[in-house]
Amino acid sequence: MARQFTFADPGEGIHEAEVVEVNVSPGDHVEEGDPVLVVETDKAETELPSPYTGQVQDIPVSEGDTVEVDDVLVVFADDDDEAPADGDEATERDTTDGDGEPGEMAEAGAARTTAEAEDAPTEPEGTDEDDEDAEDDDEGGKAAAVGELPTEEPHAEHPSDERPEPGSERAGSAGGPVPASPATRRLARERGIDLTRIEGSGPHGRVTSQDVEDAAEQEPDTRDDEGARPQRDEGARPQRDERAPERPELPDFEQWGPIERVRLRSIRRTTARRVAVSWREIPQVTHHDVVDVTALERWRREHSAQVEDAGGELSLMVLVTKALAGVLSRHPRFNASLDLDAEEIVLKHHYHIGLAVDTDDGLIVPVIRDVDRKPLIGLATEISGLIGRVRAREVQGEELTGGTFTVTNVGPLGGDGFTPLIRHPEVAILGMGQARLEQVVTGDLDAHRTVVQLRLPLSLTYDHRVVDGADAARFIGDLGSAIADPGALLLNT
Protein backbone atom coordinates (compact mmCIF):
# COMPACT_ATOMS: atom_id res chain seq x y z
CA MET A 1 0.00 0.00 0.00
CA ALA A 2 1.32 3.45 -0.84
CA ARG A 3 2.32 5.58 2.15
CA GLN A 4 1.51 9.25 2.33
CA PHE A 5 3.52 12.03 3.94
CA THR A 6 1.06 14.68 5.04
CA PHE A 7 1.64 18.20 6.29
CA ALA A 8 1.41 18.23 10.08
CA ASP A 9 0.29 21.13 12.28
CA PRO A 10 3.40 23.22 12.83
CA GLY A 11 1.85 24.66 16.00
CA GLU A 12 1.88 28.28 17.15
CA GLY A 13 -1.51 28.86 15.56
CA ILE A 14 -0.18 28.37 12.05
CA HIS A 15 -2.21 26.10 9.82
CA GLU A 16 -0.78 26.69 6.40
CA ALA A 17 2.54 27.11 4.70
CA GLU A 18 3.99 27.82 1.30
CA VAL A 19 6.10 25.20 -0.43
CA VAL A 20 9.30 26.96 -1.39
CA GLU A 21 11.46 24.05 -2.46
CA VAL A 22 10.85 20.47 -3.59
CA ASN A 23 14.06 18.51 -3.33
CA VAL A 24 12.90 15.15 -4.70
CA SER A 25 11.30 13.85 -7.88
CA PRO A 26 9.12 10.83 -8.51
CA GLY A 27 11.30 7.72 -8.70
CA ASP A 28 13.87 9.04 -6.20
CA HIS A 29 14.85 6.82 -3.33
CA VAL A 30 14.86 8.70 -0.03
CA GLU A 31 15.99 7.67 3.41
CA GLU A 32 14.01 8.46 6.50
CA GLY A 33 15.19 11.86 7.66
CA ASP A 34 16.31 13.08 4.23
CA PRO A 35 15.04 16.61 3.62
CA VAL A 36 12.36 16.40 0.92
CA LEU A 37 10.62 19.77 1.03
CA VAL A 38 11.20 23.27 2.34
CA VAL A 39 8.10 25.13 3.46
CA GLU A 40 7.72 28.66 4.71
CA THR A 41 5.21 29.77 7.30
CA ASP A 42 4.65 33.31 8.58
CA LYS A 43 7.28 32.56 11.17
CA ALA A 44 10.02 30.63 9.53
CA GLU A 45 11.33 28.54 6.69
CA THR A 46 11.48 24.87 7.67
CA GLU A 47 13.03 21.83 6.05
CA LEU A 48 10.73 18.81 6.20
CA PRO A 49 12.53 15.48 6.55
CA SER A 50 10.96 12.37 5.12
CA PRO A 51 9.24 10.21 7.74
CA TYR A 52 9.80 7.13 5.57
CA THR A 53 12.49 5.29 3.70
CA GLY A 54 11.34 4.37 0.24
CA GLN A 55 10.76 5.39 -3.34
CA VAL A 56 8.88 8.59 -4.17
CA GLN A 57 5.83 7.78 -6.32
CA ASP A 58 4.12 11.12 -6.60
CA ILE A 59 4.48 14.70 -5.35
CA PRO A 60 1.03 16.30 -5.45
CA VAL A 61 2.41 19.74 -4.48
CA SER A 62 4.76 21.99 -6.36
CA GLU A 63 6.83 25.05 -5.49
CA GLY A 64 4.65 28.06 -4.74
CA ASP A 65 1.66 26.01 -3.58
CA THR A 66 0.05 26.78 -0.26
CA VAL A 67 -0.54 23.66 1.80
CA GLU A 68 -2.78 23.15 4.79
CA VAL A 69 -2.59 20.69 7.64
CA ASP A 70 -3.27 17.12 6.47
CA ASP A 71 -2.60 17.92 2.79
CA VAL A 72 -0.58 15.16 1.15
CA LEU A 73 2.94 16.32 0.33
CA VAL A 74 4.66 13.19 -0.95
CA VAL A 75 3.33 9.75 -1.83
CA PHE A 76 5.74 6.85 -1.38
CA ALA A 77 5.59 3.76 -3.58
CA ASP A 78 4.24 0.47 -2.33
CA ASP A 79 7.05 -1.49 -0.68
CA ASP A 80 7.23 -4.01 -3.49
CA ASP A 81 7.50 -1.31 -6.14
CA GLU A 82 10.73 0.02 -4.79
CA ALA A 83 13.78 -0.52 -6.91
CA PRO A 84 16.49 -2.50 -5.12
CA ALA A 85 18.07 -0.04 -2.73
CA ASP A 86 21.49 -1.56 -3.31
CA GLY A 87 21.62 -0.22 -6.82
CA ASP A 88 20.75 3.29 -5.71
CA GLU A 89 23.28 3.36 -2.97
CA ALA A 90 26.01 1.99 -5.17
CA THR A 91 25.44 4.88 -7.52
CA GLU A 92 25.62 7.39 -4.71
CA ARG A 93 28.82 5.92 -3.46
CA ASP A 94 30.39 6.01 -6.88
CA THR A 95 29.69 9.70 -7.04
CA THR A 96 31.45 10.21 -3.75
CA ASP A 97 34.47 8.33 -4.99
CA GLY A 98 34.59 10.44 -8.11
CA ASP A 99 34.95 13.58 -6.02
CA GLY A 100 37.74 12.09 -4.08
CA GLU A 101 40.45 12.29 -6.75
CA PRO A 102 42.04 8.94 -6.02
CA GLY A 103 45.48 9.99 -7.22
CA GLU A 104 45.74 12.68 -4.59
CA MET A 105 44.47 10.39 -1.90
CA ALA A 106 47.23 7.92 -2.59
CA GLU A 107 49.73 10.72 -2.37
CA ALA A 108 48.28 11.89 0.90
CA GLY A 109 48.45 8.41 2.31
CA ALA A 110 52.05 8.01 1.28
CA ALA A 111 53.00 11.25 2.98
CA ARG A 112 51.88 9.91 6.32
CA THR A 113 53.10 7.01 8.35
CA THR A 114 51.40 3.69 7.83
CA ALA A 115 49.93 3.53 11.28
CA GLU A 116 48.43 6.92 10.91
CA ALA A 117 47.00 6.25 7.49
CA GLU A 118 45.11 3.35 8.99
CA ASP A 119 44.00 5.45 11.89
CA ALA A 120 42.80 8.30 9.85
CA PRO A 121 41.25 7.14 6.62
CA THR A 122 40.28 9.89 4.24
CA GLU A 123 36.57 10.23 3.96
CA PRO A 124 35.69 8.39 0.74
CA GLU A 125 37.90 5.46 1.64
CA GLY A 126 36.42 5.37 5.09
CA THR A 127 32.89 5.23 3.78
CA ASP A 128 33.75 2.35 1.49
CA GLU A 129 35.51 0.35 4.15
CA ASP A 130 32.75 0.87 6.63
CA ASP A 131 30.18 -0.31 4.12
CA GLU A 132 32.15 -3.40 3.29
CA ASP A 133 32.62 -4.17 6.95
CA ALA A 134 28.93 -3.79 7.52
CA GLU A 135 28.16 -6.19 4.71
CA ASP A 136 30.67 -8.73 5.87
CA ASP A 137 29.50 -8.63 9.43
CA ASP A 138 25.85 -9.07 8.80
CA GLU A 139 25.51 -12.12 6.62
CA GLY A 140 22.52 -11.01 4.60
CA GLY A 141 24.21 -7.78 3.62
CA LYS A 142 22.41 -4.62 2.69
CA ALA A 143 19.56 -6.13 0.73
CA ALA A 144 18.23 -7.98 3.74
CA ALA A 145 18.50 -4.97 6.00
CA VAL A 146 16.74 -2.69 3.59
CA GLY A 147 14.17 -5.34 2.80
CA GLU A 148 13.10 -5.35 6.42
CA LEU A 149 12.61 -1.64 6.67
CA PRO A 150 9.31 -1.11 4.84
CA THR A 151 7.46 -3.62 7.02
CA GLU A 152 8.42 -1.56 10.03
CA GLU A 153 5.91 1.19 10.84
CA PRO A 154 8.01 4.26 11.52
CA HIS A 155 8.05 5.04 15.25
CA ALA A 156 5.52 2.28 15.87
CA GLU A 157 7.15 1.64 19.21
CA HIS A 158 6.17 5.09 20.46
CA PRO A 159 2.93 5.76 22.24
CA SER A 160 1.01 8.04 19.91
CA ASP A 161 1.39 11.13 22.10
CA GLU A 162 5.15 10.90 22.00
CA ARG A 163 5.36 10.33 18.30
CA PRO A 164 7.65 12.91 16.78
CA GLU A 165 6.05 15.08 14.16
CA PRO A 166 7.73 15.18 10.80
CA GLY A 167 10.02 18.16 10.79
CA SER A 168 10.49 18.15 14.52
CA GLU A 169 13.79 17.33 16.14
CA ARG A 170 14.24 13.97 17.74
CA ALA A 171 12.11 13.06 20.69
CA GLY A 172 13.67 13.46 24.13
CA SER A 173 15.95 16.37 24.83
CA ALA A 174 13.97 19.54 24.33
CA GLY A 175 16.02 21.76 22.08
CA GLY A 176 19.31 21.17 23.88
CA PRO A 177 22.23 19.09 22.75
CA VAL A 178 21.66 15.34 22.36
CA PRO A 179 22.78 13.61 25.56
CA ALA A 180 25.82 11.51 24.63
CA SER A 181 29.27 11.15 26.16
CA PRO A 182 32.30 12.80 24.54
CA ALA A 183 33.56 9.41 23.32
CA THR A 184 30.19 8.63 21.74
CA ARG A 185 30.18 12.03 20.05
CA ARG A 186 33.64 11.35 18.63
CA LEU A 187 32.44 7.97 17.34
CA ALA A 188 29.44 9.63 15.66
CA ARG A 189 31.72 12.09 13.87
CA GLU A 190 33.91 9.22 12.76
CA ARG A 191 31.00 7.19 11.42
CA GLY A 192 29.27 10.21 9.87
CA ILE A 193 26.20 9.83 12.03
CA ASP A 194 24.02 12.80 12.94
CA LEU A 195 23.21 12.36 16.64
CA THR A 196 19.98 14.33 16.39
CA ARG A 197 18.57 11.53 14.24
CA ILE A 198 19.27 8.70 16.64
CA GLU A 199 16.85 7.41 19.24
CA GLY A 200 18.96 6.99 22.37
CA SER A 201 18.57 3.61 24.07
CA GLY A 202 20.27 4.73 27.29
CA PRO A 203 18.57 6.07 30.40
CA HIS A 204 16.40 9.11 29.66
CA GLY A 205 17.16 8.89 25.97
CA ARG A 206 20.94 9.03 26.25
CA VAL A 207 22.64 7.95 23.03
CA THR A 208 25.19 5.21 23.61
CA SER A 209 28.16 4.19 21.48
CA GLN A 210 26.26 1.03 20.57
CA ASP A 211 23.36 3.17 19.27
CA VAL A 212 25.82 4.98 17.01
CA GLU A 213 27.32 1.70 15.74
CA ASP A 214 23.83 0.34 15.06
CA ALA A 215 22.85 3.49 13.21
CA ALA A 216 26.07 3.39 11.19
CA GLU A 217 25.21 -0.12 10.02
CA GLN A 218 21.73 0.89 8.97
CA GLU A 219 22.34 4.23 7.33
CA PRO A 220 25.88 4.89 6.25
CA ASP A 221 25.85 8.70 6.53
CA THR A 222 23.01 10.64 8.08
CA ARG A 223 24.71 14.00 7.94
CA ASP A 224 22.75 16.07 5.52
CA ASP A 225 24.31 19.45 6.06
CA GLU A 226 27.86 18.75 5.02
CA GLY A 227 28.26 22.36 4.00
CA ALA A 228 27.57 23.67 7.48
CA ARG A 229 30.04 21.29 9.08
CA PRO A 230 33.76 21.67 8.78
CA GLN A 231 35.00 19.84 5.73
CA ARG A 232 37.27 17.11 6.88
CA ASP A 233 40.93 17.89 6.34
CA GLU A 234 42.42 15.31 4.02
CA GLY A 235 45.62 15.48 5.96
CA ALA A 236 48.53 17.85 6.06
CA ARG A 237 49.48 18.41 2.47
CA PRO A 238 49.35 21.36 0.10
CA GLN A 239 45.92 21.94 -1.32
CA ARG A 240 46.45 24.44 -4.07
CA ASP A 241 44.09 24.96 -6.97
CA GLU A 242 41.28 23.00 -5.40
CA ARG A 243 39.00 25.81 -4.43
CA ALA A 244 38.94 27.74 -7.67
CA PRO A 245 35.30 28.61 -8.29
CA GLU A 246 33.83 27.99 -11.69
CA ARG A 247 34.57 30.84 -14.07
CA PRO A 248 34.90 31.19 -17.83
CA GLU A 249 38.29 30.36 -19.27
CA LEU A 250 40.46 33.21 -20.48
CA PRO A 251 41.54 33.34 -24.10
CA ASP A 252 45.20 33.39 -25.07
CA PHE A 253 45.76 37.15 -25.15
CA GLU A 254 49.13 36.86 -26.82
CA GLN A 255 47.48 35.88 -30.04
CA TRP A 256 46.51 39.55 -30.36
CA GLY A 257 49.72 41.16 -29.23
CA PRO A 258 52.41 41.27 -26.51
CA ILE A 259 51.27 41.16 -22.88
CA GLU A 260 52.77 41.17 -19.39
CA ARG A 261 51.52 39.26 -16.34
CA VAL A 262 51.67 40.84 -12.87
CA ARG A 263 51.00 38.72 -9.80
CA LEU A 264 47.90 39.51 -7.78
CA ARG A 265 49.48 39.90 -4.37
CA SER A 266 48.97 41.17 -0.90
CA ILE A 267 46.57 44.12 -0.69
CA ARG A 268 45.51 43.84 -4.33
CA ARG A 269 44.54 40.22 -3.78
CA THR A 270 42.75 40.95 -0.53
CA THR A 271 40.83 43.80 -2.15
CA ALA A 272 39.93 41.56 -5.09
CA ARG A 273 38.58 38.93 -2.74
CA ARG A 274 36.70 41.33 -0.49
CA VAL A 275 34.96 43.29 -3.22
CA ALA A 276 33.98 40.02 -4.87
CA VAL A 277 32.42 38.90 -1.57
CA SER A 278 30.60 42.21 -1.25
CA TRP A 279 29.35 42.04 -4.84
CA ARG A 280 28.24 38.42 -4.46
CA GLU A 281 26.72 38.52 -0.99
CA ILE A 282 25.08 41.93 -0.70
CA PRO A 283 22.16 43.19 -2.80
CA GLN A 284 23.34 46.79 -2.72
CA VAL A 285 21.86 50.01 -4.03
CA THR A 286 23.51 53.43 -4.22
CA HIS A 287 21.64 56.62 -3.39
CA HIS A 288 23.09 59.88 -4.73
CA ASP A 289 22.54 63.40 -3.43
CA VAL A 290 24.35 66.73 -3.33
CA VAL A 291 24.55 68.78 -0.13
CA ASP A 292 25.40 72.41 0.56
CA VAL A 293 28.72 72.74 2.42
CA THR A 294 29.29 76.48 1.91
CA ALA A 295 28.96 77.41 5.57
CA LEU A 296 30.89 74.33 6.61
CA GLU A 297 33.77 75.19 4.31
CA ARG A 298 33.92 78.78 5.67
CA TRP A 299 33.93 77.46 9.18
CA ARG A 300 36.58 74.90 8.27
CA ARG A 301 38.91 77.55 6.87
CA GLU A 302 38.38 79.72 9.92
CA HIS A 303 39.44 76.93 12.27
CA SER A 304 41.91 74.91 10.27
CA ALA A 305 44.93 76.80 11.59
CA GLN A 306 43.90 75.98 15.15
CA VAL A 307 43.65 72.28 14.29
CA GLU A 308 46.95 72.40 12.40
CA ASP A 309 48.62 73.73 15.55
CA ALA A 310 47.39 70.62 17.31
CA GLY A 311 48.97 68.49 14.61
CA GLY A 312 45.92 67.58 12.57
CA GLU A 313 44.27 68.52 9.33
CA LEU A 314 40.69 69.78 9.49
CA SER A 315 39.52 68.26 6.23
CA LEU A 316 36.02 68.01 4.90
CA MET A 317 36.26 64.25 5.44
CA VAL A 318 37.03 64.73 9.14
CA LEU A 319 33.95 66.92 9.54
CA VAL A 320 31.75 64.48 7.64
CA THR A 321 33.10 61.59 9.72
CA LYS A 322 32.33 63.46 12.93
CA ALA A 323 28.81 64.26 11.73
CA LEU A 324 28.27 60.62 10.77
CA ALA A 325 28.53 59.45 14.38
CA GLY A 326 25.44 61.46 15.28
CA VAL A 327 23.58 60.53 12.11
CA LEU A 328 24.33 56.83 12.60
CA SER A 329 22.98 56.93 16.15
CA ARG A 330 19.70 58.29 14.77
CA HIS A 331 19.64 55.71 11.96
CA PRO A 332 20.88 52.59 13.80
CA ARG A 333 20.26 50.18 10.93
CA PHE A 334 23.07 51.80 8.98
CA ASN A 335 25.46 50.92 11.82
CA ALA A 336 24.69 47.23 11.76
CA SER A 337 25.36 43.80 10.30
CA LEU A 338 23.00 41.16 9.01
CA ASP A 339 23.20 37.72 10.64
CA LEU A 340 21.44 35.56 8.08
CA ASP A 341 21.89 32.33 10.02
CA ALA A 342 20.17 33.77 13.06
CA GLU A 343 17.81 35.87 10.94
CA GLU A 344 18.76 38.87 13.00
CA ILE A 345 20.06 42.36 12.41
CA VAL A 346 22.99 43.10 14.68
CA LEU A 347 22.72 46.74 15.77
CA LYS A 348 26.04 48.07 17.02
CA HIS A 349 26.10 50.48 19.90
CA HIS A 350 29.60 51.55 19.02
CA TYR A 351 30.65 53.80 16.18
CA HIS A 352 33.92 52.66 14.62
CA ILE A 353 34.26 54.31 11.24
CA GLY A 354 36.52 52.91 8.54
CA LEU A 355 38.27 55.38 6.24
CA ALA A 356 39.34 54.14 2.82
CA VAL A 357 42.94 55.26 2.31
CA ASP A 358 44.63 55.18 -1.07
CA THR A 359 48.25 54.00 -0.69
CA ASP A 360 51.00 53.13 -3.14
CA ASP A 361 50.21 49.46 -2.56
CA GLY A 362 46.45 49.81 -2.89
CA LEU A 363 43.41 50.47 -0.77
CA ILE A 364 43.68 50.12 3.03
CA VAL A 365 40.82 50.85 5.40
CA PRO A 366 41.93 51.75 8.95
CA VAL A 367 39.21 52.05 11.55
CA ILE A 368 38.73 55.03 13.88
CA ARG A 369 37.18 53.79 17.10
CA ASP A 370 34.40 55.50 19.05
CA VAL A 371 34.10 58.47 16.72
CA ASP A 372 31.06 59.62 18.71
CA ARG A 373 33.11 60.06 21.86
CA LYS A 374 36.04 61.95 20.40
CA PRO A 375 36.24 65.74 20.26
CA LEU A 376 36.82 67.21 16.82
CA ILE A 377 40.42 68.32 17.30
CA GLY A 378 41.40 64.96 18.72
CA LEU A 379 39.64 63.21 15.87
CA ALA A 380 41.37 65.36 13.25
CA THR A 381 44.80 64.69 14.73
CA GLU A 382 44.09 60.98 15.06
CA ILE A 383 42.93 60.72 11.45
CA SER A 384 45.93 62.66 10.11
CA GLY A 385 48.32 60.52 12.11
CA LEU A 386 46.59 57.31 11.12
CA ILE A 387 46.58 58.13 7.42
CA GLY A 388 50.30 58.87 7.63
CA ARG A 389 50.96 55.57 9.33
CA VAL A 390 48.75 53.69 6.87
CA ARG A 391 50.68 55.12 3.93
CA ALA A 392 53.91 54.07 5.65
CA ARG A 393 52.39 50.57 5.99
CA GLU A 394 52.76 50.74 9.76
CA VAL A 395 49.17 49.87 10.57
CA GLN A 396 48.07 46.29 11.04
CA GLY A 397 45.79 44.01 12.99
CA GLU A 398 43.36 45.67 15.34
CA GLU A 399 43.46 49.05 13.69
CA LEU A 400 42.11 47.46 10.52
CA THR A 401 39.23 45.59 12.12
CA GLY A 402 35.95 46.21 13.86
CA GLY A 403 34.54 48.91 11.56
CA THR A 404 30.82 49.52 11.67
CA PHE A 405 30.53 51.93 8.72
CA THR A 406 32.96 53.15 6.07
CA VAL A 407 33.68 56.46 4.36
CA THR A 408 35.49 56.67 1.05
CA ASN A 409 36.50 60.03 -0.33
CA VAL A 410 37.61 60.40 -3.95
CA GLY A 411 36.78 64.12 -3.87
CA PRO A 412 40.35 65.42 -3.98
CA LEU A 413 40.80 63.59 -7.29
CA GLY A 414 37.46 64.68 -8.75
CA GLY A 415 34.20 62.94 -9.45
CA ASP A 416 30.58 63.92 -8.95
CA GLY A 417 29.27 60.54 -7.86
CA PHE A 418 30.21 56.86 -7.85
CA THR A 419 28.91 53.58 -6.48
CA PRO A 420 31.15 52.46 -3.62
CA LEU A 421 30.95 48.78 -2.59
CA ILE A 422 29.94 47.95 0.97
CA ARG A 423 32.60 46.38 3.16
CA HIS A 424 31.04 43.07 4.17
CA PRO A 425 29.63 42.56 6.83
CA GLU A 426 28.80 46.25 7.22
CA VAL A 427 25.48 47.57 5.94
CA ALA A 428 26.47 50.82 4.25
CA ILE A 429 29.31 52.93 2.91
CA LEU A 430 29.39 56.66 2.18
CA GLY A 431 31.23 57.96 -0.88
CA MET A 432 32.30 61.61 -1.07
CA GLY A 433 32.78 63.27 -4.47
CA GLN A 434 34.45 66.60 -5.19
CA ALA A 435 32.92 69.69 -3.60
CA ARG A 436 32.38 72.23 -6.37
CA LEU A 437 31.06 75.76 -6.62
CA GLU A 438 27.73 75.66 -8.39
CA GLN A 439 24.93 77.99 -9.22
CA VAL A 440 21.82 76.96 -7.38
CA VAL A 441 18.35 78.35 -7.85
CA THR A 442 16.55 78.84 -4.55
CA GLY A 443 12.99 79.91 -3.75
CA ASP A 444 9.83 78.75 -5.50
CA LEU A 445 8.35 78.99 -9.01
CA ASP A 446 7.32 82.60 -8.60
CA ALA A 447 10.03 84.08 -6.45
CA HIS A 448 13.52 82.73 -6.93
CA ARG A 449 17.08 83.79 -7.15
CA THR A 450 20.37 82.25 -8.10
CA VAL A 451 23.06 81.82 -5.49
CA VAL A 452 26.48 80.27 -5.58
CA GLN A 453 27.04 77.38 -3.19
CA LEU A 454 29.85 74.92 -2.51
CA ARG A 455 28.13 71.59 -3.14
CA LEU A 456 29.36 68.19 -2.09
CA PRO A 457 28.16 65.08 -3.97
CA LEU A 458 27.45 62.13 -1.67
CA SER A 459 26.88 58.51 -2.68
CA LEU A 460 25.43 56.19 -0.05
CA THR A 461 25.51 52.48 -0.89
CA TYR A 462 23.29 50.42 1.38
CA ASP A 463 22.36 46.78 1.87
CA HIS A 464 18.79 46.58 0.63
CA ARG A 465 18.11 43.56 2.84
CA VAL A 466 18.49 45.77 5.90
CA VAL A 467 17.34 49.23 4.80
CA ASP A 468 15.25 50.71 1.99
CA GLY A 469 15.58 53.62 -0.40
CA ALA A 470 13.49 55.89 1.79
CA ASP A 471 15.78 55.16 4.74
CA ALA A 472 18.79 56.09 2.62
CA ALA A 473 17.16 59.34 1.49
CA ARG A 474 16.39 60.22 5.12
CA PHE A 475 19.92 59.32 6.15
CA ILE A 476 21.51 61.61 3.55
CA GLY A 477 18.97 64.33 4.35
CA ASP A 478 19.89 64.13 8.00
CA LEU A 479 23.60 64.14 7.20
CA GLY A 480 23.08 67.15 4.90
CA SER A 481 21.35 69.12 7.68
CA ALA A 482 23.98 68.07 10.19
CA ILE A 483 26.86 69.45 8.15
CA ALA A 484 24.97 72.47 6.78
CA ASP A 485 25.32 74.15 10.17
CA PRO A 486 28.77 73.55 11.68
CA GLY A 487 27.84 75.24 14.94
CA ALA A 488 25.00 72.81 15.53
CA LEU A 489 27.18 69.91 14.44
CA LEU A 490 29.67 70.61 17.19
CA LEU A 491 27.01 71.21 19.78
CA ASN A 492 25.09 68.05 18.93
CA THR A 493 27.92 65.57 18.71
Partner 1 sequence: MADDTPDQTQLLIVGAGPGGYAAAFRAADLGLSVTLVYDDDRVGGVCLLRGCIPSKALLEITELKLLAREAASRGLSFGDPELDLSRMRDWKDEVVHQLVGGLEGLMKRRNIDVIPARARFRSSNEVILDDGGNGGERRLGFDRAIIATGSHPQPLPDIAFSERILDSSGALALGDVPERLLVIGGGYVGLELGSVYAALGSAVTLVEMTDALLPTADPDLVEPLAEQVGERFDAVHLGVSVTGLREDDGRVEAAFDGDEPPASTSYDRVLIAIGRRPNLDGLGLEDTEVEIDADGSITVDEARRTTDPNIYAVGDVTGGQQLAHEAFHEGIVAAEAIAGRPAAFDARAVPAVVYTDPQLAWCGLSEQDAAAQEREVEIVRFPWRASGRALTLGSDRGMTKLVTEPGTGRLLGVGIVGRRAESLITEGVLAVEMGAVLEDLARSIAPHPTLSETLHEAAQLGIGSPLHLPPKG
330 near partner 1, judged by CB under 8 A: no
Alpha-carbon torsion (79, 83, 86, 91), positive or negative:
negative
Strand partners, 463: 284
What's the Cα-to-Cα distance from 119 to each of 122, 129, 184, 299, rounded to whole Å? 10, 13, 17, 73
Question: Closest approach of Cβ 355 to partner 1, in Å?
Answer: 17
Nearer to partner 1, 361 or 468 (CB): 361
120 near partner 1, judged by CB under 8 A: yes
Q: Please identify which residue in 66, 401, 442, 492 interacts with partner 1, judged by CB under 8 A.
A: 401
229 near partner 1, judged by CB under 8 A: yes
Q: Please identify which residue in 154, 167, 179, 417 interacts with partner 1, judged by CB under 8 A.
A: 179
Distance CA 24, CA 306 (A): 71
176 near partner 1, judged by CB under 8 A: yes
Question: Closest approach of Cβ 143 to partner 1, in Å?
Answer: 29
Alpha-carbon torsion (325, 330, 331, 332), positive or negative:
positive
Q: Please identify which residue in 234, 292, 463, 471 interacts with partner 1, judged by CB under 8 A.
A: 234
| Bridging pattern class, strands 428-432 and 284-292 | unpaired
6 near partner 1, judged by CB under 8 A: no
239 near partner 1, judged by CB under 8 A: yes
Distance CA 430, CA 52 (A): 53
Question: Closest approach of Cβ 279 to partner 1, in Å?
Answer: 17
Contact 419, 461 (CB under 8 A): yes
122 near partner 1, judged by CB under 8 A: yes
Distance CA 284, CA 441 (A): 32
DSSP 3-state of 459: strand
Instruction: Output DSSP code: residue 404.
Output: S
Interface segment toward partner 1; rule CB under 8 A; list 159-167, 264-272, 286-294, 307-315:
264-272
Distance CA 170, CA 467 (A): 38
Q: What do you get for the CA distance between the two ends of the chain, in Å?
A: 74
Nearer to partner 1, 120 or 345 (CB): 120
Contact 365, 400 (CB under 8 A): yes
Q: Please identify which residue in 64, 159, 175, 248 interacts with partner 1, judged by CB under 8 A.
A: 175
Distance CA 391, CA 368 (A): 16
Contact 28, 51 (CB under 8 A): no
Question: Closest approach of Cβ 226 to partner 1, in Å?
Answer: 12
414 near partner 1, judged by CB under 8 A: no
Q: Please identify which residue in 80, 94, 99, 119 interacts with partner 1, judged by CB under 8 A.
A: 119
Nearer to partner 1, 349 or 449 (CB): 349
245 near partner 1, judged by CB under 8 A: no
> In terms of DSSP H, where are the helices of 5-140?
85-99, 102-111, 114-119, 123-137
230 near partner 1, judged by CB under 8 A: yes
Our CA dihedral for 30, 9, 165, 55, rounded to 10 degrees, sits at -20
Distance CA 342, CA 330 (A): 25
Q: Please identify which residue in 6, 96, 201, 266 interacts with partner 1, judged by CB under 8 A.
A: 266
182 near partner 1, judged by CB under 8 A: yes
Site residues (CB under 8 A) for partner 1, limited to 429-458: none
Contact 468, 285 (CB under 8 A): no
238 near partner 1, judged by CB under 8 A: yes
Q: Please identify which residue in 155, 163, 170, 189 interacts with partner 1, judged by CB under 8 A.
A: 189
**How many of the chain's residues bind partner 1 (CB under 8 A)?**
60
396 near partner 1, judged by CB under 8 A: yes
Distance CA 416, CA 66 (A): 49
Interface segment toward partner 1; rule CB under 8 A; list 115-123, 325-333, 438-446, 471-479:
115-123
196 near partner 1, judged by CB under 8 A: no
Q: Applying CB under 8 A, which residues contact partner 1?
A: 108, 111-113, 115-116, 119-122, 172-177, 179-182, 185-186, 189-190, 192, 202-206, 229-240, 242-243, 265-267, 269-270, 273, 337, 369-370, 396-398, 400-402, 425
